[in-house]
Amino acid sequence: MAAKKIKTERIERSKYSIYLKKAQDFFDAMHQASLSNNWNAAGLAAVHCAISSNDALLVYFRGIRSTADNHLDAIELLRNCQEINQAEDMISRLRKIIGKKNLIEYEARPFLQAEAEEIIKHTERFYNRARALLV
């Protein structure tokens, strides 16, 4: 079976900082929402922080970002960044974070505090590792 072709767009590598800034903004929003006990907003900001962090990594190391409809496809692109030591840990965290997106946005129930605290923990670790690789 042939490997799945993931839709991407080419982006000048120097523009990684734009995505890193977006990640930082979502990171800050995640913490502000958490301080207000706004768990839905904290969870969604966490998801977007992780997606933007991953975009920053992909632009920096590969000069691409995913344009696929499924955010999980971007995980496969990260898997191909051999410059990243311990990428499997990052991939595992990113999968957990993105896996909560549908629940937060579309399910007919609130995102609970315990769930938000868990996604915040994973997002903090993913974001901080990405920043360490990029700055």
Flag whether pLDDT at 45 surpasses 60: yes
Q: What is the DSSP letter of 75?
A: H
pLDDT tens digits along 58-112: 999 999 999 988 888 888 899 888 888 778 999 999 999 999 999 999 999 999 9
Tell me, yes or no, whether 92 lies in a domain: yes
Spatial separation of the C-alpha atoms in residues 113 and 85, rounded to whole Å: 32
pLDDT score for 85: 77
CATH number of the domain to which 60 belongs = 1.20.120.330
Tell me, yes or no, whether 106 lies in a domain: yes
Of the candidates 10, 38, 44, 14, the one whose C-alpha atom is nearest the C-alpha of residue 26 is 44
Which domain does 98 fall in, by range? Answer: 14-134
Q: In the chain, pLDDT over 70 holds for what percent of residues?
A: 97
Q: What is the mean pLDDT of residues 46-68?
A: 96
**Hey, is 56 helix, strand or coil?**
helix
* Whole-structure pTM value: 0.93
Averaged confidence pLDDT in the chain: 93
Rg (CA), the chain: 15
> Where residue 1 falls among pLDDT bands split at 50, 70, 90?
very low
Question: Looking at this protein, which amino acid is placed at residue 89?
Answer: D
Number of domains observed in the structure of the chain: 1
| Cα separations in angstroms, 128 against 23, 92, 101, 122 | 10, 15, 20, 10
pLDDT score for 3: 57
Flag whether pLDDT at 2 surpasses 60: no
Q: Tokens standing for 122?
A: 């994973």
Q: What is the DSSP letter of 65?
A: E
Tell me, yes or no, whether 1 lies in a domain: no
**Hey, is 9 helix, strand or coil?**
strand
